[in-house]
Amino acid sequence: MLKVIEVNDRVGLKRFVKVAFKIYKNDPLFSPEPIRDQVEHLSEKNPFVRHARVHYFIATDGRVDLGRIAAIVNPMHNEFHKDRTGFFGFFECIKDQEVASALLDRASETLKAYNMDTIRGPMNFSTNEYCGVLVQGFDIAPTIMTPYNPPYYKDLLEGAGFKKAKDLHAYMRTIPEELPEKALRVAEVAERRGITVRKVKLKNLYEELVAFNDIYYNAWKENWGFVPFTEEELRYVAKKLKPVIVPELMLIAEHEGEPVGFLGLLPDLSLVLRKMGGRLTPWSILKALYWYRKIDRLRLLLLGIKKDYRFRGVDALLFREGFKGAKKYKEVEFSWILEDNLPVIRLVEMIGGTLSRVFRVYERPI
């Protein structure tokens, strides 16, 4: 008999995490973070969980776990957008509409108890992390911190009455020797206007991320789904990112000493994660060290230009300098980009990016 149960202690969270390993048991593209890290991220060690309301559910027939979901109330979103939207996330499910609907209905009922009127997702936990289900590009290995799922997830969500809320695009291109001529000319315009670019200072990473957060808020606050970071979340991000940041790939644009733009490229650790298989053992760590040297793909994770400095070539200058530090890599994914963010899409296409994957966020009235 199908049941949906709530879990909340460390044992339950580990069981919640392991549901995904059953769904993707034979999938060579499955790229899980270490189980221990995932459990920690779901717990109150994560500052998001401390300020939000999060409930974790598992669908089971009493013998086998069949799916999972989280119901998420994000006060930061509700205060910023002045709405009553709740979220679901960490959705994984076998190919069974009854199981999917049971999970989604349980999440919806939970959000209704918090007076939410819309359920949207998947968000793991917000637009600042993983969001959407993959609906195009299933043959491409996922990049770090982007969704990956079977093609049937789209059908499960639509079968439960969910409609598209927004598509998020990923673009790919090979690392160029240099940018196209048009982009180089635009970058030179920025230089003539006094824009300079420097690497982040790892020893002051939190302070650098504060500068990024100021740019991010200024640049993104009017965008769909934007949620500001709290100070605690920023410190948490700094701690997580510091071991994997390559300073030559994390850049700040300045004008007269004021940060006005930010670009962050990360080595795509998904290759390493696939080889580790979610395990954190001496052997898996040795494998990780070996495969880290084999990484040949980057993900453009961070990009923001203050509103007063848009259309001045700052973005092109950041890309020019970023690609200089990326010569040992073969390709880069720009993700994610809102489907209707035409200025950024035109920029990415101008420097040679082509659409490679699409992620879809769904919603349903409660």
* Bridge partner list, 7: 56
Do 3-168 and 173-365 have matching folds?
Answer: yes
Summarize pLDDT for 168-221 with one digit per residue, the tens. 999 999 998 888 898 999 999 999 999 999 999 988 888 888 888 999 999 999
Parallel/antiparallel/unpaired status of strands 3-7 and 331-338: unpaired
Task: Identify the burial level of 276 via C-beta atoms within 10 angstroms of its C-beta, where 0-12 means exposed, 13-18 middle and 19 or more buried.
Answer: buried
Task: List phi, psi (to 5°) of 168.
Answer: -120, 130
Alpha helices in the chain (DSSP H): 10-23, 35-42, 47-51, 75-81, 97-113, 153-159, 181-192, 205-220, 231-241, 270-276, 282-292, 314-324, 342-350
Which residue type is seen at 49? V
Non-local (6+) Cβ contacts of 123 within 8 A are 72, 87, 88, 89, 129, 130, 131, 361
To the nearest 10 degrees (0 to 180), the angle between helices 35-42 and 10-23 is 130
The radius of gyration of the chain's CA atoms, rounded to the nearest angstrom, is: 21
Task: Report the distance separating Cα 226 and Cα 221, nearest Å.
Answer: 6
d(CA 135, CA 295): 25
What CATH superfamily classification does 173-365 receive? Gcn5-related N-acetyltransferase (GNAT) (3.40.630.30)
Structure token pair of residue 91: 């959705």
Q: For 71-86, write each residue's pLDDT tens digit.
A: 999 999 999 999 999 9
Task: Report whether pLDDT(99) > 80.
Answer: yes
> Is the distance from CB of 280 to CB of 271 less than 8 angstroms?
no
Q: How far apart are the C-alpha atoms of 320 and 180, rounded to whole Å?
A: 10
C-alpha separations of 242 from 88, 250, 297 in Å? 29, 11, 19
CATH architecture for segment(s) 3-168: 3-Layer(aba) Sandwich (3.40)
φ, ψ of residue 327 in degrees (nearest 5): -60, -30
Question: If you average pLDDT over residues 86-107, what whole number do you get?
Answer: 99
Residue-wise pLDDT tens digits, 213-244: 999 999 999 999 999 998 899 889 888 888 88
Domain layout of the chain by residue ranges: 3-168, 173-365
Amino acid at position 176, single letter: P
Residues 155-169 have pLDDT tens digits of: 999 999 999 999 999
